[in-house]
Amino acid sequence: MPELPEVEVSRLGITPHVLQQRVKAVRVWFPTLRWPIPETVQLLQGEEIVAIRRRAKYLLLDCVHGTLIIHLGMSGKLHVLPTEAPRQKHDHFELELENGYSLRLNDARRFGAVLWQALDETHVLLASLGPEPLTDDFDGARLFALSRGKATPVKSFIMDNAIVVGVGNIYANEALFATGIDPRRAAGKVSKARYQRLADVIKVVLARAIQQGGTTLKDFTQADGKPGYFKQELAVYGRAGEPCLNCETIIKQVRIGQRNSFYCPKCQR
């Protein structure tokens, strides 16, 4: 599933082609994605895209009447290409722009979403989200305060979007390894000093992944079709049975919160 860095890379990739462009047409080829695409998305027709933002893993395209919300789901990709380019299999939604290009959502598994947020309203999916991890609103003090008394594994805790948004499975594994914290440890048993270190590392890991263009595993490519390169830097994710890069102990794999989790039994405690 595309995580925060992949979504941010997609935002950066489409912005030069889509921002301040007027929408000539809105086409819905397959209206039933994760949720039905509402007819209100047609309000974009004739309007200028005045801002392109990201909130957690949601892309937000603003116009004067409201905001188009796009979620890439498990396999969704956004492509900017000439409008006359043939429609591809699994192309479900298109914004035709006045510059002769179109923004298309391609989603083989159809777990993505195209939704609408009216002006001066907050969509229910955005209403309860925690702070962005790359802002000053997220720090170790917040993690420490919200974790007190919690027996949930620390990995699940930092992946909770009410705590902080966008720390997906790949980057949670990597950040916990870099800070030497066992992903199975109870969130309430992690010290304030270690949480401060963890918050700092999360920022570094996510920023580095954005810089490298995200992490290509199976499905993700950038808006221009190029793969992300952060996979080359993964220290533990997907490396079960291989030696730790620090101590050569064999990396172990467990299931935490129905997600594959990877850790070094010697380096992480």
* Active-site option among 110, 142, 203, 259: 259
**Is 194 annotated as contributing to ligand binding?**
no
Q: C-alpha distances in angstroms, 129 versus 91, 107, 147, 152, 166?
A: 29, 24, 17, 19, 10
* Active-site option among 57, 104, 194, 197: 57
User: How many Å apart are CA 214 and CA 203, to the nearest integer?
Assistant: 14
- Are 173 and 184 in contact by the 8 Å Cβ rule? The answer is no
Q: Answer yes or no: 231 catalytic.
A: no
3-state SS, one letter per residue, for 90-150: CEEEEEEECCCEEEEEECCCCCCEEEEEECCCCCCCCCCCCCCCCCCCCCHHHHHHHHCCC
Alpha-carbon Rg for the chain in angstroms: 20
User: How many Å apart are CA 214 and CA 222, to the nearest integer?
Assistant: 8
The one-character DSSP state at 32 is B
Measure CA 128 to chain center: 16
**Is 150 annotated as contributing to ligand binding?**
yes
- Are 249 and 263 in contact by the 8 Å Cβ rule? The answer is no
Q: Answer yes or no: 133 catalytic.
A: no
- Are 90 and 79 in contact by the 8 Å Cβ rule? The answer is no
Q: Answer yes or no: 27 catalytic.
A: no
Q: 């702070």: which residue's tokens?
A: 131
* Active-site option among 2, 5, 133, 183: 2
Shortest CA distance to 41 belongs to which of 126, 127, 124, 118?
A: 118
Q: Answer yes or no: 227 catalytic.
A: no
**Is 92 annotated as contributing to ligand binding?**
no
Q: Is residue 70 within a helix (H) or strand (E), and if so which, with residue range?
A: strand 66-71
Binding-site annotation: residue ranges for DNA: 90, 109, 150
Which residues are known catalytic residues?
2-3, 57, 259
